[in-house]
Structures are given as C-alpha cells and as structure tokens.
Amino acid sequence: KAGVTQTPRYLIKTRGQQVTLSCSPISGHRSVSWYQQTPGQGLQFLFEYFSETQRNKGNFPGRFSGRQFSNSRSEMNVSTLELGDSAFYLCASSFFGGGVEETQYFGPGTRLLVL
Amino acid sequence: AQSVTQLGSHVSVSEGALVLLRCNYSSSVPPYLFWYVQYPNQGLQLLLKYTTGATLVKGINGFEAEFKKSETSFHLTKPSAHMSDAAEYFCAVRGNTGGFKTIFGAGTRLFVKA
C-alpha cells in the first residue's frame, strides 16, 4: 500500500505570490491534517479535513486555506506569501480521524522557501 | 488547553548508553500521548502511543515510554542507543475532542556518539 504523498517536495516562491501544496492520503484514509514546521515555532497544526469538510483549525491567518476532494486528496493554499511562511509543510492521513487512538501517517513534506 | 514541554532541545549519548528523552504534558482532559521520530527532511514516524490501559508502552526500534499521571510525564527511553537513533524526537498530546488537533512539543534532537 502506497504511503502519503506530497507534491511538490521543494518549492521557491517570492513574497506576494500564492502557492498550492498537494497531499494524497493513503488509499482508504478519509482524514487529512496539515502542519507547518519551522525552527522557531516547531510543529504547528494548520487544519484537518474529513469527508471534504474542515473539522478542526489551528491559529493561522486566513491566508492559509485548504480543501479536500471527494477522493480524499487535499490541497493547502497560502495566498500573499510572506517571508515567514518559509517552512516545512507536512500532511498526515488516517482512516477515520474520529478516534484519538488512530495512528496518523505522515507524508515526506514540502519545503517552501519564500524569497 | 493542552501543551507539551520537552526538556532539553539537544541530548547527546554514547552508542550503547541509555537514551532518556523527557516529556511533560498539560491537559484538562485525559490525554492521549505520542512519540514521533523525524529524520532530516522527512516526515514524522510514530514510535509509540498511549491511549488507555497499560501505562508502560512499547514501541518500535526498542523504544518505550511510561505514562505517569501523577507526574504528568511521558518520558521516552531506550536501553542501548544505536547510531541510527540519531534524529529529532517529538512528544505530542491529543485530547478527546475528536479529530486530529495534535499538539507537539518543541522537539529534542538526539546525538549518538561512537
């Protein structure tokens, strides 16, 4: 069974641009979560989607948005990029996401550099 | 609100020595606790998790952790370090609120000396 995939793996953008990152969960998984990882702030929860609906949201500005498609693939969009958005973005999937005992499987991440 | 504190941003041990990575949590609801490992430029891999039941949890690669409610701790240990254990380790907590709003600690980078 293939793992969680994220595309692209590396990305360079300039301030003011927007970016879209993609996450394909493990087949059969319906919950997808996104995290931002930076040296200063560590791992921070962005949002979680389940069955095309955002179920949980972290404390990020509205420039960060996401969506989930009917095949459970998810995209994360950041508009009007700022230098501080440079980070490692991770997504994770799980089958249902309704039980805390479930295991989340993480993708390899996307490294975004904003110049 | 839930939070996780990992004591020591860097820990260095000799190969074959005991590994001890410390984690304390704060949670107003029964916590579900996790340890993840991250190798450079890779995603996170679950080492072990505590949900309910036995407080001593065994994970992959010889790691284990003990949930101590009285101390609000969930320290990660391994009896004998291997060079391949060098990585960053994250303790995380997730409350029983549904969904996956996992709160991570700041991480501890483990160095293993030959």
DSSP β-bridge partners for residue A68: A74
Q: Is any Cβ of chain B less than 8 angstroms from the Cβ of A95?
A: no
Contacts of B39 (CB under 8 A, 6+ apart): B87, B88
Q: pLDDT of chain A along its 115 residues, tens only? A: 689 999 999 999 999 999 999 999 999 999 999 999 998 889 999 999 999 999 888 899 999 999 999 999 999 999 999 999 999 999 999 887 556 567 788 999 999 999 9
> Using the beta-carbon criterion (under 8 Å), do B43 and A109 form an inter-chain contact?
yes
Q: State whether residue A30 sits within 8 Å of chain B by CB.
A: no
Contact of A109 with A6, CB cutoff 8 Å? yes
Which pLDDT does position B16 carry in this prediction? 97
CB B76 within 8 Å of CB B47: yes
**What is the three-class DSSP state of B17?**
coil
The whole-angstrom separation of Cα B91 and Cα A81 is: 30
Q: What is the pLDDT of residues B51-89, one digit of tens each?
A: 888 889 999 999 999 999 899 999 999 999 999 999 999
Lowest mean pLDDT among A59-63, B2-6, B87-91, B92-96: B92-96
Checking DSSP bridges between strand A10-13 and strand A110-114, what pairing results, if any? parallel
Answer yes or no: is pLDDT of B98 > 60. no
Q: Which residues of A touch B47 (CB under 8 A)?
A: none
Closest Cβ–Cβ partner in B45, B51, B103 for A101: B51
Q: Report pLDDT for B95.
A: 65
Stretch B4-16: mean pLDDT: 95
Chain B residues closer than 8 Å to A106 by CB:
36, 43-45
- Which residues of chain B make contact with A50, given a CB cutoff of 8 A? 99
CA A75 to CA A54: how far, in whole Å?
Answer: 12
